[in-house]
Structure 1
């Protein structure tokens, strides 16, 4: 298999990396992440103008990419810049709408590609413990075809700023059954939707979303009733790959920061990078990062495979990224010493992001168990 990127992908990466380096430096990023909204709509629009969002979707959906390696290229560059704009929500929600939505619903995908809309996935619930099928939020259907939603969703990324939520709700069966999950597009300003936002430790914002007798028209349902699990699993799979690639980009930058520090920091009149013990620790770290890179490549290549092969590759990558990302964060900070913990040093922000990526869409323990379970199918 040829793992070399195509010319188009190399150009995409070069364009995005150059834009981030010139227009999205750390000080700019830090100011955006600490702002009241947690991201910049202006910057979101500028990314879209460059075609970055469009690279996450296939031509049939109005984009010009959409394959696993397109997604990996984009998110690796975003990870290098610690970009906080809502790319993950656009990818996950957009791909689910593109796969299961009606023609009218697919208009949202065009708005995401244009950068004129922000979408957020509202799926995780208190106590769900990453179990994809555990949905307690309930949706009931009236005689006139309208739906009523009641429940609560947690840690909704960019929930305050979202124009629309993609909400999972149970329309049949027990709380942990795969069958009986339905998906709904819920505009942010719908009566009964309340949002409580907060700042996340690695930058940006998330929210708790409460649904109290939320009335929706019949056409708010995405796809067929009771059959949303497959769409949800596929959409979150895109998100898992994206997060793994983002972590890889962040690891590369943390590694570069640390190598530079080892070359310049002196003790006893010599650079500490000349100490053999530190060289061995850094060599081990470089090997770990290359293992993570291989896991991302494998997941990207398997994105178009059958369900079991695809999901096992994604879980293997997420497990590897969670384990290696935490190690990279810890080692890079320890090799810097006390300065590595300071807020003024970009490294601390990369370390926080690496740790938090492990907890999005399932941590390493969850995905190790899932990988084993899928192998028994």
Structure 2
């Protein structure tokens, strides 16, 4: 299999890297990440104009490409700049709509791609423990309408979203894959309550509750009770994106650390000349390349059958969680006390790497999931 990027992908990466370098410097990013909105609407529209959002979707759905490697290229560049705009949830919600939406729902993809609509995934719950099928929010059918009740946690950019993709259980117990149903819920629907807060790694998220929210049948995405497969695939795209973002962030953290080792002096010589620090740096570089290989494998497997895809996704997420923590720790330690300061960009890359591990399942969760999927394949 040829893992070399196509000319189009190289051009996409060059364009995005140049834009982020020129327009999204650390001071700009820090100001945006700490703002009351949590992202910049102006820059979000400019990303859309550059075709960056469109690169996450295929031509049949109004985009330009949308394959696993296209997602990886975009998010690796976003990770290099610690970009906080709502790319991740736009990808996840858009992929779910593209996979299971009817004609009217698929028309919403145009608004996502041109940046005029912000959508957010409302799936995680306070007691979900990373288990994708654990859904306690409930939706009951009554005539030609659904009554939705439940609470969702850590909804990215929830305050600014105009549309939520909500998972709810329409039959059965709280844990089986069967019975999970997906709904597209407008932010301004009666009974939708949003409480926003800042995140430790920049940007904002929200707790969202649904209290007797009445939805028409046209809010249903796909078939009632059969939404898990769509949710799983959409989140697989999101996990690939997160892993790619982490690789980009690791590369920048590594570069900052190499530069520091070359310029910081003790006893009249650069500390990078000390053999012990060289060994630590070499070990870290090898680990980053291992993580990059796992992400490449996940990108290649995104279009494969379910078990192959999900094992590759979990393998990548496990690798990113383990290596991301290592890179964050080593880079800060090699910088010494200055590595912890707010003014140094490195500290923000370290925080982002740690938090990526906890999105959609940490390394322990995905290691166990990888093993379970392997046993299922053998049985």
Q: How does 1:24-103 map to 2 (within 5 A)?
A: 24-103=24-103
Rounded to whole Å, the distance in 2 between the matches of 1:196 and 1:107 is 29
Secondary structure of 1:148's match? strand
Residue aligned with 2:212, SS? strand
Corresponding residue for residue 317 of structure 2: 318
Q: Which residue of 2 aligns with 1:124?
A: 124
In the alignment, the residues of structure 2 paired with residue 28 and residue 158 of structure 1 have an alpha-carbon distance, to the nearest angstrom, of 19
Question: Which residue matches 1:18?
Answer: 18
Matches within 5 A, 1:191-230: 191-230=190-229
TM-score, normalised relative to structure 2: 0.99
1:103-142 correspondence runs (5 A): 103-142=103-142
Deviation at 1:106, TM superposition (A): 1.0
Q: Are 1:190 and 2:189 matched, yes or no?
A: yes
**How far off is 1:105 after superposition?**
0.7
Partner residue in 2 for 1:3: 3
* DSSP 3-state at the match of 2:195: strand
Equivalent position SS for 1:104: helix
So what's the TM-score if we normalise by structure 1? 0.99
2:148 aligns with 149
Q: Which secondary structure does the structure 1 equivalent of 2:65 belong to?
A: coil
The answer for the alignment partner of 1:231 in structure 2 is: 230
Return the alpha-carbon distance in structure 2 between the equivalents of residues 335 and 291 of structure 1.
Answer: 21
Provide structure 1 residue ranges, at least 5 long, that are not aligned to the other structure. none
* Paired residue secondary structure (1:105): helix
- Residues 309-348 of structure 1: pairs in structure 2 closer than 5 A: 309-348=308-347
**How far apart are the structure 2 equivalents of 1:270 and 1:172?**
68
Match of 2:274?
A: 275
Distance 2:140 2:2 in 1: 50
Q: Give the whole-Å Cα distance in 1 for the aligned partners of 2:263 and 2:240.
A: 35
Paired residue secondary structure (2:213):
strand
Q: Please, which moves more after superposition, 80-89 or 104-113?
A: 104-113
Could you give the per-residue CA deviations for residues 249-306 of structure 1, whole angstroms, max 9, x where no partner exists? 0000000000000000000000000000000000000000000110010000001111
Q: CA deviation at 1:4?
A: 0.7
Point out where structure 2 has 5 or more consecutive residues left out of the alignment.
Answer: none
What is the CA-CA distance between 1:107 and the residue it aligns to?
1.7
Give 1:108 shift. 1.6
CA distance in 2, matches of 1:11, 1:60: 22
2:51 partner SS: coil
Distance 1:237 1:345 in 2: 33
Query: How far 1:2 sits from its partner (Å)?
Result: 1.1
Secondary structure, counterpart of 2:171 in structure 1:
coil
Aligned CA RMSD, in angstroms, stands at: 0.4
SS state at 2:183 partner = strand
CA-to-aligned-CA distance 1:123-178 (integer Å, 9 cap, x gap): 000111000000000000112x1011000000001101101000000000000010
Question: How many residues are aligned here?
Answer: 376
Partner of 1:361: 360
The answer to whether the aligner puts 1:165 opposite 2:192 as a matched pair is no
> Deviation of residue 309 (structure 1)?
0.4
Runs of 4+ in 1 over 3 A off after TM superposition: none
The CA distance in 1 between the partners of 2:2 and 2:139, in whole Å, is: 47
1: CA distance between counterparts of 2:369 and 2:264? 43
